[in-house]
Structure 1
Amino acid sequence: MGFFNRLKQGLKKTGSLLKTDIRDLFKSEGRLVDDDFLEEARGILFRTDMGYDSTEALVEEIATKLRGRVVQLEEIVEVLKAKLKDLMAQPVTPIEYASLGPTIVMVCGVNGAGKTTSIAKLASQFKSEGKTVLLGAGDTFRAAAVEQLTIWAERLGCGIVTAPQGTHPATVGYQTVERAVAESVDVAIVDTAGRLQTQSDLMAELTKIRGAIQKPLDGAPHEVLLVLDATTGQNGVSQASKFAEAAGCTGIVLAKLDGTAKGGVVVSIRQQMGLPVKYVGLGEGHEDLAPFEPDEFVEALFADVLGATAAATDA
């Protein structure tokens, strides 16, 4: 299944919400774009968790281009899609590989966001590109986390650096990079323990881990990816802000996109943070991670809307 179809399937819950609400918005042939229409459209967009700024930008675009006209659904959808693509625009390359030596990727996130599984998916992606991969089990406070990552390393054919429980995670980060350099590994992925964005001491620890990673290799880490659980909706924006400040995040891995009706949070994160969404998780398997493509995201989000509304009108 290609990325578009997988993304369309992953956005099924969010798309279903749009279909239902837009069906109510266009019960008859044509609709006058007036204040009532704009307010209803605003409510629909809010329910996908696009956030205030993104929603207002979309409503303003509708008002600017279509206010006072009787429009068909197709016209509204095209205006929304064009504006969303503009809001979501970002660099195409998901990972900036180091020009010399190993590429170091540091991964962080809150507890339960899907971080360990996302690391396994990233490793699988890199392996599929023919790259050698080394994992660093930096969640040294949970034995289960190290065990889980070790199982993934064995399954995917990756090396792994571990340390006794309670070892400072910065030590694991340092040792992982040191080994990656010594063994000429293509990509090293350093895990970190899950933490809440409100835990200031643990957030400060991320800064220390990043500093330790830099010591064996100038320029490392080359990417700092924040794993966000798409089902958290707007709370994900708060997480992104705090983690970006502490760890210097360069991008987002949005996990569990297939399990939420809040897929619009991607738009909100992109708008408010300016961080690119680099990958999206679309299932449970290690192959269910895809580089994020904004234009295809927008097309997938609205893929079923026209058909659904046409069916409702015919009925």
Structure 2
Amino acid sequence: MSSAAGSLLPRVSTTSLRSVGSARFLWLVAALVVVVAAVALPAFRNPVSVGSLLASLTPILLIAVGQAVVVMYGGIDLSVGATAGLATVLVALSPVLPGGAPLALALVLAGGLVVGLLNAAGVVAGINPLLMTFAMSGVVQGVALLLQGTEGARIPGAVFDVLGASVGPVPLLAVVALVVLVATWLWVGQTRTGRVVQAAGYDRRTATRLGFPVRRTTFVVYAVSGLLSSVGGLAIVVRTYTADALVGSSAVIDSIATVLVAGIVITGGIGSVLSVLPAALIIAVVGQVITLTGTDSYYQTIFKGVLLVAAVGVYSLAGKKITVPWRLRQPAVARPADERSAS
């Protein structure tokens, strides 16, 4: 890698870290939403309700983190919901597999990776990410529907016991989701591969010209998204106690809305994965309030749609102020002396 490319990476890596400070308002909004819900609804403060909130938050957070990495890279993944649904169906195959639950859980993770790698292969081949992942969503959902009809398929109680384990009052999968969030944030902001994700999101053509491994990184980001979608499917199993190929249908709008509300620019390269947490919390709390008040669940879908449109509008306007660093806009050559002095 050239010296110009090498000097670019540390500079790009600060993007994720700097954007944490700009997300202070989002954290305040999330805290305000929680406080208002707790004051207005005594049932919201009930330990059972808190556990239900965490169970709802976990899959949103896991799937949105994977989506955030893809969007940061300048792509999108519409297959996350189908992948999560496939994960629930694969878990239900435990009684009919020779390896039982361990093999089923291994297939869940492998299935997510395979879906992600196939998405990446299509994108690298030149298929638009929107079309590729949309088509893959149909394929995965079809496979899940076929497997769902397997005779003897069900989710064993032992699987619920393992996946539903808690650390005190906090579900184990919620702890896993938080660890995944922090680890992914550090990976994107501090590692070389994570910096390539941001560089490619800024300007893929220039990043490729600078010698960054853009093609290889495509496989990494989509594999991460597929894997986390599968783990999110396991969290959905704990929340719904069911295996359904269509159970992850809301995960697509949930993940994209969460990512955009988190301030990750839809064109890629700018944002902080850590901000996914308050954004996911807002969506989960609103959903919990709708449930506790007995309001029709369709209003939750309407809320997510309005939130998504609002986020797209806000960040489209904000995008007009976004400037790409000169190192990403220019080839890897030294700047003239007068340009350096002007800067």
Q: Structure 1 length as normaliser, TM-score?
A: 0.25
Q: Structure 2 length as normaliser, TM-score?
A: 0.23
Higher helix share: 2
Higher strand share: 1
